[in-house]
Amino acid sequence: MLEDLNARLSQYGRYPLLEGPTPIQRLSRLEAVLGDEAGGARLWVKRDDLMEVGGGGNKLRKLEFLIGEALAQGCDTFITTGGLQSNHARQSAAAAARAGMACELMLADVVPRHDQDYRNNGNLLLDQIFGARVHRLSPGAAPVAAAQARADELREQGHKVYVVGNGGSSPLGALGYAASAAEIIAWEATSQVRFDTIVVPNGSSGTHAGLVAGLAAADDAPERVLSYTVLAPLHTALSDTRRLAKDALHLLDPERQIADQAIIVDGSQRGEAYGIPTGAMLAAVRTLARSEGLLLDPVYSGKAFAGFLERARSDAWANRDVLYVMTGGTPGLFAYAQAFVGQ
């Protein structure tokens, strides 16, 4: 039940980074643009891009729990990892600044883009504005190992350091999206709308895993969540999401279990590799921008929304209510300017 889920979440310390639940809005103009193609599907979006700190985005939900634990441990420095244009790194830098902590970012060059926009603009520019110390790792370096080595150096200097890996997608971090599941359930109860499917991007798996864990802990249907992998190949994304969802649920309710079949991941939109633009992503970004005036990012939400549009047009959701979780990442558009030139 929802009350049980909220009670279990309250057992964990959180550093407030959100101003209450993010809004759920109807995509009425998009529905009109799709017309008969959508088969009468009612399309909704949860605006997790509308968060106050650091330009917003889904990682702030995870960081509420991670920064909360770091502060409870008396840490003064927050270290995390990611790619050069990591949304998580940017939001970590902002959240650490808000919490009065130093932040260091171990960033790997994982996408074969070498233009100046990608290498110096977007999230990277904001990392520095937020005051983070950015370490650009050499090719082949292991980011987590580099983070641990830097943490050891800082501890020798008398600092207390908190280290978290890619995307903040630890079991504790995933509880941020268990809290989001509670928001969705509460909204459904008051609006008398129940979503048949809840669609999310899947990078480091924490968003999908947390939603599934939250729904399961609330005695709801975890199989309502569908993610599109944009980072790992499908078999790896499935395995990682199953493991993380079960670990997150264990923090909430060790007696409950999630069946493997309840974790549903689609691999159709990943494209050539992580961070490599696809034609479907470019079209999806333009479609939402030109119908609703809303911006998707090119790495995560753009690819997942391409899958969302494909399913909507296939009649898969005819006369049903479907929710897309808009995870933010708009600064990434400025790093991918060359991909959109002439589009």
What residues contact residue 309 under an 8 Å CB cut-off, 6+ apart?
A: 34, 284, 287
Residue 86 annotated among the catalytic residues of the structure: yes
Among candidate residues 53, 56, 328, 62, the one with its CA nearest the CA of residue 176: 62
Among candidate residues 162, 199, 177, the one with its CA nearest the CA of residue 66: 162
Longest dimension (CA), the chain: 64
Q: What is the DSSP annotation of 248-260? A: HHHHH-TT----G
The pair of structure tokens assigned to 319 is 């006369």
What residues contact residue 190 under an 8 Å CB cut-off, 6+ apart?
A: none
Q: Which residue has the tokens 């809004």?
A: 23
Of 10, 28, 86, 92, the catalytic one is 86
3-class SS of residue 78: strand
The pair of structure tokens assigned to 197 is 């499917």
The terminus-to-terminus CA distance of the chain in angstroms comes to 47
How far is residue 31's CA from residue 37's CA, in Å, rounded to a whole number?
Answer: 9
How far is residue 229's CA from residue 315's CA, in Å, rounded to a whole number?
Answer: 22
Q: What is the DSSP annotation of 160-175? A: -EEEE-GGG-SHHHHH
The pair of structure tokens assigned to 200 is 């999310």
How far is residue 322's CA from residue 325's CA, in Å, rounded to a whole number?
Answer: 10
| Enzyme catalytic residues | 86
